[in-house]
């Protein structure tokens, strides 16, 4: 098939007619399909249904501590060891929390706002015009956190290697720039794994702010799609990398079991160096006596080491892979004939990032909605919800069943074609 830009006006009109019929046929089906959020499907959640069986009336840790009671604010040793192994850092660098790493990120920034960091000249709330770097497209909820705390969100384009480091190195010369969001393994939504060089440059760069922080959100650290371990995204341990360049305080790392066991009933953690940890604990110990250690124990017994986690994640991958493949197949089938659009084919994580012809994403999302397909709003992956190209649409194939994914992605593709044809016809006027 000819690319749309090579078609005559008549050919485009004929194509438009055909696409319109297909679109109206789908509309007549009164579908309700949802590709909005990266939620695990019920089948994935079922993988961990027996997690609490391992407790079996025994709530004591290996050291004999009673997890039902108060105490051990940083979390029990055995689960800190599991996360330490996954993240490649020592268990003593880890502080466990309840079921949301996003909550931990929010709290970490809240502490800096009110009290400042261990190396801050003053609390961040007192820094007029504070700024935060947002690799873009990125995770909408990250952006919402820093927007809520009054940071100006500075977009930094993401490349195949991670954030554009030339730009980051320039921007951090401004002392009002206090930090950067990073999803280094299978970034949300593009599925990018930061290169070793990007990690090195982030660790090494000189920043004007003495209290600059990297929020290293390793949400997808074990969320590989491939059985082949050579294909798994790998990262250096950012804590020791920052330390090796004399910036030991620079990074807070986050992770959780939300998409390993239960998204609504898991456990989370943050990792940082000793100075940051001692400082954070001063406030955390005022905030809470402990988090849910019974859940930590269940997780530690159920998934006692990194290898157990990897094997469990391969069960998720077996469920997720066909869904991601279904997405790719339909996109290739419908849109492979032209390069007016492109999309990612990630090796892990939860998303496929679709880039429509610039200037059409908002229209595509609203047309999909009319046809019963809910998509994340166009622009959601950009600071302030504004994609300057109006091109990116984040697709989340984890939750729906394959049949629904195929329908939803086909409708998306039809809408992408309709809007592209309309735009080209407009240009021909
Ligand atoms: C990059 C990223 N970080 C964090 C989260 C949320 O993690 P949690 O459930 O631990 O709060 C998500 C969820 O989609 C995510 O994509």
Q: What is the pLDDT of residues 198-215, one digit of tens each?
A: 999 999 999 999 999 999
Q: What was the pLDDT predicted at 423?
A: 96
Atom in ligand 1 nearest the alpha carbon of residue 38 = 14
256 CB less than 6 Å from ligand 1? yes
Please tell me the distance between residue 219's alpha carbon and the centre of ligand 1 in angstroms. 6
Q: pLDDT tens, 4-56?
A: 999 999 999 999 999 999 999 999 999 999 999 899 999 999 999 999 999 99
295 CB less than 6 Å from ligand 1? no
Q: What was the pLDDT predicted at 429?
A: 80
- Supply the residue whose CA is at minimum distance from atom 15 of ligand 1: 219
The predicted model gives 258-280 an average pLDDT of: 98
Q: What was the pLDDT predicted at 295?
A: 98
Token pair for 76: 């029990």
Pocket perturbation via mutation, ligand 1, pick of 146, 188, 353 by most ligand atoms within 8 A of CB: 188
Q: What was the pLDDT predicted at 365?
A: 98
**Which residue is associated with the tokens 């008549």?**
10
Full-model pTM: 0.97
Residues 6+ positions from 186 with CB-CB distance below 8 Å:
192, 193, 220, 223, 233, 346, 347, 348, 349, 350
Inter-axis angle of helices 101-115 and 274-287, to 10 degrees?
90
217 CB less than 6 Å from ligand 1? yes
Q: pLDDT tens, 109-151?
A: 999 999 999 999 999 999 999 999 999 999 999 999 999 999 9
For residue 96, which of 104, 88, 108 has the smallest C-alpha distance? 104
Task: Identify the structural domains of the chain with CATH numbers, from first to last.
Answer: 4-44+311-428 (3.90.1150.10), 61-304 (3.40.640.10)
Phi-psi category of residue 349: left, alpha or beta, with phi > 0 → left and psi -120 to 50 → alpha: left
Q: What was the pLDDT predicted at 371?
A: 97
User: Which run of H or E residues covers position 96?
Assistant: strand 94-97
Q: What is the mean pLDDT of the chain?
A: 97
Please tell me the distance between residue 114's alpha carbon and the centre of ligand 1 in angstroms. 24
276 CB less than 6 Å from ligand 1? no
Pocket perturbation via mutation, ligand 1, pick of 87, 99, 135, 141 by most ligand atoms within 8 A of CB: 141
- Helix, strand, coil fractions of the chain, as percent rounded to 5: 45, 15, 40
Please tell me the distance between residue 102's alpha carbon and the centre of ligand 1 in angstroms. 6
Neighbours of 12 (CB within 10 A): 18
Q: What was the pLDDT predicted at 29?
A: 94
Q: Give the gyration radius of the chain's Cα atoms.
A: 23
Per the omega criterion (within 30 degrees of 0), is the bond before 214 cis?
Answer: no
Q: pLDDT tens, 61-90?
A: 999 999 999 999 999 999 999 999 999 999
100 CB less than 6 Å from ligand 1? yes
Q: What was the pLDDT predicted at 428?
A: 86
CA angle at residue 204 from 200 to 208, to 5 degrees? 140
Q: pLDDT tens, 359-398?
A: 999 999 999 999 999 999 999 999 999 999 999 999 999 9
DSSP string, 344-406: ---SBSS-EEEEPSTT-HHHHHHHHHHTTEEEPPTTTTSGGG--TTS-EEEE--SSS-HHHHH
The helix/strand/coil state of 161 is: coil
258 CB less than 6 Å from ligand 1? yes
Atom in ligand 1 nearest the alpha carbon of residue 103 = 11
């Amino acid at each position: 098939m000819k690319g749309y830009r090579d078609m005559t006006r008549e050919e485009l009109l004929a194509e438009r007619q055909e696409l319109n019929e297909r679109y109206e046929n789908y509309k007549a089906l009164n579908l309700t399909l949802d590709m909005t959020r990266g939620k695990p499907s019920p089948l994935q959640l079922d993988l961990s249904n027996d997690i609490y069986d391992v407790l079996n009336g025994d709530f004591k840790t290996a050291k004999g501590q009673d997890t039902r009671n108060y105490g051990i604010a940083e979390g029990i040793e055995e689960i800190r060891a599991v996360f330490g192994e996954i993240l490649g850092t020592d268990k003593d660098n880890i502080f466990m929390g309840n079921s949301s790493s996003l909550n931990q990120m929010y709290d970490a920034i809240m502490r800096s706002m009110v009290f400042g960091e261990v190396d801050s000249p003053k609390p961040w709330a007192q820094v007029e015009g504070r700024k935060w770097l947002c690799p873009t497209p990125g995770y909408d909820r990250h952006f919402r956190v820093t927007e809520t705390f009054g940071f100006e969100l500075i977009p930094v384009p993401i490349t195949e290697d991670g954030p554009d480091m030339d730009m980051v190195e320039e921007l951090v010369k401004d002392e009002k720039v206090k930090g950067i969001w990073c999803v280094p393994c299978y970034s949300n939504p593009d599925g990018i794994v930061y290169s070793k060089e990007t990690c090195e440059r982030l660790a090494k760069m000189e920043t004007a702010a003495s209290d600059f922080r990297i929020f290293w959100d390793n949400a997808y650290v074990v969320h590989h799609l491939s059985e082949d371990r050579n294909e798994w995204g790998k990262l250096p341990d950012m804590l020791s990398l920052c330390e090796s360049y004399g910036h030991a305080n620079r990074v807070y790392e986050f992770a959780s079991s939300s998409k390993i066991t239960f998204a609504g009933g898991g456990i989370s953690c943050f990792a940082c160096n000793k100075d940051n940890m001692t400082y954070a604990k001063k406030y955390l110990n005022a905030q809470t006596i402990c988090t849910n250690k019974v859940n930590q124990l269940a997780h530690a017994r159920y998934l006692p080491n990194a290898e157990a986690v990897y094997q469990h994640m391969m069960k998720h991958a077996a469920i997720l892979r066909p869904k991601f493949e279904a997405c790719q197949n339909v996109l290739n089938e419908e849109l492979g004939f032209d390069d007016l659009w492109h999309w990612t084919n990630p090796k892990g994580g939860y998303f496929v990032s679709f880039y429509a012809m610039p200037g059409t994403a908002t229209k595509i999302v609203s047309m999909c909605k009319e046809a019963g397909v809910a998509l994340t709003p166009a622009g959601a992956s950009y600071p302030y919800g504004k994609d300057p190209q109006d091109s990116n649409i984040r697709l989340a194939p984890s939750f729906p069943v394959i049949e629904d994914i195929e329908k939803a992605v086909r409708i998306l593709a039809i809408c992408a074609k309709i809007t592209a044809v309309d735009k080209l016809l407009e240009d021909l006027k």
